[in-house]
Amino acid sequence: MSTFDTTELTLNMGPQHPSTHGVLRVVLRLDGERVVGCDVVIGYLHRGIEKLCEHRDWQQIVLITDRMDYVAAASNNLGYVETVEKLMSLEVPRRARYIRVILAELQRIASHCLWLGTHAMDMGAMTVFLYCFRERELVLDLFEEYCGARLTYNSMRIGGLPLDIPSGWDKKVRAFCDILESKVPEYEELLTHNRIWRDRTKGIGVIGGADAVALGLTGPVLRGSGVPRDVRKDEPYAAYSDFEFDVPVGTAGDTYDRYLVRIEEFHQSVRIIRQALDGLPEGPIVAKVPRLIKPPAGETYHAIESPKGELGYFIVSDGKSNAPYRFRVRPPSFCNLQALPRLVQGHLMSDVVALIGSIDIVLGEVDR
């Protein structure tokens, strides 16, 4: 059979496109609607955060980390302060560590809500979007009550926390956990058991476990491929070693499994929050930290499990100045995004938006 002589269509998707979740630019080469090539162009939101951090003193950097993954600011804070604490060999009080876990897990729920909403919206299921935002709003209210901010929290300090939890806050968190657990089945009803949703996500963007590891994928994207890697479990930080939780993994490594993994993480986060609230110890919320922080000379890498994957900080201190000598972030969104050209190969244009959503990127973190 002879084939038609066709020319490829180069389609510039983004940086202003409703489904690129910010300012991502994807240059697609299309044959009809089938994707034959894909270049990801990033950098539209580059603010030089890493360099900026080398010129700020150690406490000020917490505030800058908020601006990376701005939908999961508390996780960014946590990663940074823990790295510095590791550099300074600081022992953080248990109460502070527990509250950090609660904040980080609430943050994971908020981030997953945003992810699920936009992911579903990209595929035309617009009601899920508003349902998710309804629950995310509750998390933001909790954060507002805790630290006064709703998006960029600046919620952690080197050595502990700036504030103890307000009285009655733990009850509200518990109430929220109950609400969320009753709402997640609602999302699942609209999506998991929906024939169209399954058709749209099953077998789309399949990546095997070995390939996923080779590409440096982390977080739900990696777990969707069946690799049970979770920094919370493998290298426990904060107080995660005290809690029982499962690491959900997928089998097929497709968009549907990545979706299921994140849905299950809602439940696991709730489980962790409940345990943390039950066992919340009394005590100080901040360790004895010198007024002027000056970590000893040395370098360290520390990673946490942010909602999007392994968020690592590599920090070098020269022991003399008030700022890090070198500040480098390993952003999960950035590393996961490099799988996109691989995932979209041979799929249709409609799947491209599904896959961008499935990777769960935040451009503030990709570009920094």
Least Å distance, CB 66 to other proteins, is 28
Nearer to other proteins, 139 or 304 (CB): 139
- Indicate the residue among 84 and 354 with the shorter CB distance to other proteins: 354
User: Among 241, 236, 250, 232, which residue's Cα sits nearest to residue 358?
Assistant: 250
Q: Which residues bind other proteins (CB under 8 A)?
A: 9, 11-12, 17-19, 30, 32-33, 120-127, 130-131, 134, 190-191, 194, 196-197, 199-200, 348-353
DSSP string over 245-267: ------SS-SHHHHHHHHHHHHH
192 closest CA partner among 201, 179, 204, 180: 201
CB of 138 to other proteins, least distance (A): 13
Q: Are the beta carbons of 225 and 253 closer than 8 angstroms?
A: yes
* Distance of alpha carbon 203 from alpha carbon 303, whole angstroms: 31
Cβ–Cβ < 8 Å for 62, 154: yes
Rounded to the nearest angstrom, the gap between the alpha carbon of residue 159 and the centroid of all alpha carbons in its chain is 23
* C-alpha closest to that of 340 among 328, 353, 350: 353
Q: How far apart are the first and last CA of the chain?
A: 50
Indicate the SS3 state at residue 165. Answer: coil
Give the pair of three-digit tokens for residue 131. 């349902």
Please say which residue, 131 or 237, places its beta carbon nearer to other proteins: 131
Q: Are residues 95 and 283 in contact, defined by beta-carbon separation less than 8 angstroms?
A: yes
Cross-strand partners of 161: none
Closest-CA residue to 358 (of 137, 234, 191, 176): 191
Helix (H, G, I), strand (E, B) or coil at 30: strand
Find where tokens 């799929």 sit. Answer: 347
Secondary structure element (H or E) that encloses residue 186, with its range: helix 169-190
For residue 35, which phi and psi values (nearest 5 degrees)? Answer: -85, 125
User: Minimum CB separation from other proteins for residue 188, in Å?
Assistant: 14
Nearer to other proteins by Cβ, of 96 and 138: the residue is 138
* CB nearer other proteins, residue 197 or residue 334: 197
Which residue number, 18 or 208, has a Cβ lying nearer to other proteins?
A: 18
Q: In the complex, what is the shortest distance from the CB of residue 120 to other proteins, in angstroms, rounded to a whole number?
A: 7
Minimum CB distance to other proteins, residue 196 (Å): 5
Looking at beta carbons only, is 18 or 296 nearer to other proteins?
18
Using the structure block, give the residue that is written with the tokens 């077998």. 203
CB of 353 to other proteins, least distance (A): 5
Q: How far is the CB of 16 from other proteins (least distance, A)?
A: 9
Q: What is the smallest separation between the CB atom of 197 and other proteins, expressed in angstroms?
A: 5
C-beta closer to other proteins: residue 98 or 131: 131
In the complex with other proteins, which residue's Cβ is closer, 247 or 349? 349
The H-or-E segment that residue 9 falls in is strand 9-13
Taking the complex as a whole, how short is the minimal distance between the CB of residue 350 and other proteins, in angstroms?
Answer: 5
